[in-house]
Copies of this chain bind each other. A is one copy, B any other.
Amino acid sequence: MDNNSPNIMALAPNTSNKRETVCIFGTGDFGRALGHKMIQSGYPVVYGSRSTQISNLIPKDAEVLSHAEAAQKAAIIIIAIQRQHYNFLTPLAETLRGKVLVDISNNLKLNQYPESNAEYLAQLLPGSRVVKAFNTVSAWALQSGTLDASRQVFVCGDDVEAKQMVMNIVRALGLTPIDKGTLLAAQEIENYPLQLFPMWKFPIFLSLGLSAFFFCYCLALDVIHTYVYEKNDFSFFIAVTIPNRVCPVMALVLLALVYLPGIFAAIIQLYRGTKYRRFPDWLDKWMLCRKQLGLIALAFAFLHVLFTLVFPLRSFISWRTRTQTVSQALNNRTEPLNNTNAWLSDSYLALGILGFFLFFLLGITSLPSVSNNVNWREFRFVQSKLGYLALILCTAHTMVYGGKWFLNPAAYKWYLPDIYMLSLVIPCAVLVVKFVLILPCIDKPLTQIRQGWERNPKHSE
């Protein structure tokens, strides 16, 4: 390796001393913001513009030339113009041959055009080397220097050398380039900044809908029923008591909904006898948002813990305790310890704590930096084994909590069951079916199917 031959890959031997000139086509907001930032980072910047008279919006240290002149001054040209004006570049095709063109454009809607802007640019100017970059950065953030959010800049392009040159600029601006491969990734990169939590929409709307239903249900049974039949105004239950009934119910139901699609998938595979056919669309979508459902369930569980722990601080609870104690003292009565109650209350609390603890662990392992550090086997162990254990503990917690009221007619106001009973339906169903599925006589064929075996290979397609 003692070769002194010139290194073909040495991108810019002189970059160690000074930066190369960068040309920017377009003097719009983003073009100016990027120019400002580049000048700050030591790059000479030349703008290509229709009117070459110096506009005072443009950074002072930048030169402004016609498009053709500006393009000749630099190896890298940043195309800071709208896609609909790209065709004005075609006359410049000869000047732009071999140049690195950086497409930074964004669209207004997801998949607005059949092909990505960068691919369209590459088709217009087949002789130039197109790189997609910078579209995920906000002009406002570049301008104000407050890049609190992601410093990642997705870069893609067919020409590796051109991509390297652009990635060097990205690094020089204090950002982190992420290589996303060839221009085929451009569509995805252009869609990226338009998204607003796409995977979260369905889980969040589902949770809001369910919470509203359970809230009204509780309001009817706990506040309105009491007011109608007992003339007691417990409207303040709206603040803490009812939220603390809705949160645990939501947490348990959503946690069960995380494991339900896996159950359906297993049943469908057993029925079909093959894994090589696609699941129905609704099941596919459901499986893809399990992580989000689980995290929302964890949020409800977290709120439930906080709401429960503040109980002793509530004015209502201390009034109730005081009243009970005073009446007991006034009746001159001493009460022995009820061992059954002590057992029930303690085991209900302990089950809840352990369930929440496991649930919290599951949440931590779904942090990207943690899940990137575990392999597939470890991830399945945590999410499947620990997840089911958490579901079992939380279901048991709910059962022990309400156990003694199950057969008590007083628990059925207006002939409706209490919500903790409703909340047990899905978890119990999931656990029962899962228990059946792990019986050896059913688990064995399922494992075979998942390893590629087919019951009726002839009919599989």
Contact = CB atoms under 8 A, between A and B. Distances in A.
A239 B350 contact: yes
Given A8-B8, A98-B2, A172-B184, A240 B346 contact: yes
A227 interface: no
Interface string A157-187: 0111110110110011000000011111100
A45 to B, nearest CB: 15
A310 B376 contact: no
Interface in A289-324: 290-291, 299, 302-303, 305-316, 318-319, 321-324
A84 interface: no
Nearest to A152: B372
B164 A160 contact: yes
Given A146-B287, A319-B337, A369-B367, A349 B196 contact: no
> Which of A243, A309, A360, A366 is the most central at the interface, judged by chain B CB atoms within 10 Å of its CB?
A309
A15 B158 CA distance: 7
B345 A334 contact: no
28 contacts: A2-B75, A4-B97, A4-B98, A16-B119, A56-B458, A57-B460, A136-B376, A148-B290, A148-B379, A148-B383, A149-B383, A150-B375, A236-B342, A240-B346, A302-B357, A303-B353, A307-B350, A307-B353, A310-B349, A310-B353, A316-B337, A316-B345, A316-B346, A325-B326, A329-B329, A367-B367, A368-B369, A369-B370
Contact of A161 (B9, B36, B344, B346): B9
A91 interface: no
Interface in A270-286: 275-276, 279, 284
Nearest to A261: B146
A422 interface: no
Interface stretch (A248-256, A412-420, A448-456): A448-456
B346 A236 contact: yes
Given A4-B98, A150-B375, A327-B334, 17 more contacts: A1-B12, A2-B99, A10-B158, A36-B276, A56-B460, A149-B371, A171-B180, A197-B374, A236-B339, A236-B342, A236-B347, A240-B346, A299-B361, A308-B313, A315-B344, A316-B346, A319-B342
Contact of A356 (B137, B306, B325): B306
A144 B276 CA distance: 9
B168 A182 contact: yes
Given A1-B20, A7-B161, A29-B452, A192 B375 contact: yes
A122 interface: yes
Contacts of A119: 16
A386 to B, nearest CB: 12
A237 B354 CA distance: 16
A57 to B, nearest CB: 6
The 4 closest A-B pairs by CB, nearest first: A29-B452, A1-B75, A369-B369, A149-B379
A148 B239 contact: no
Contacts of A183: 16
A295 to B, nearest CB: 10
Contacts of A276: 32, 36, 57, 143
Contacts of A367: 367, 369-370
A341 interface: yes
A1 B452 CA distance: 33
A213 interface: no
Interface string A45-62: 000000000001100100
Contact of A57 (B7, B164, B235, B454): B454
Contacts of A112: none
Contacts of A136: 375-376
A403 B251 CA distance: 33
Contact of A368 (B243, B341, B370): B370
Contacts of A284: 145
Contacts of A56: 457-458, 460-461
> Which of A181, A335, A460 is the most central at the interface, judged by chain B CB atoms within 10 Å of its CB?
A181
Nearest to A275: B143
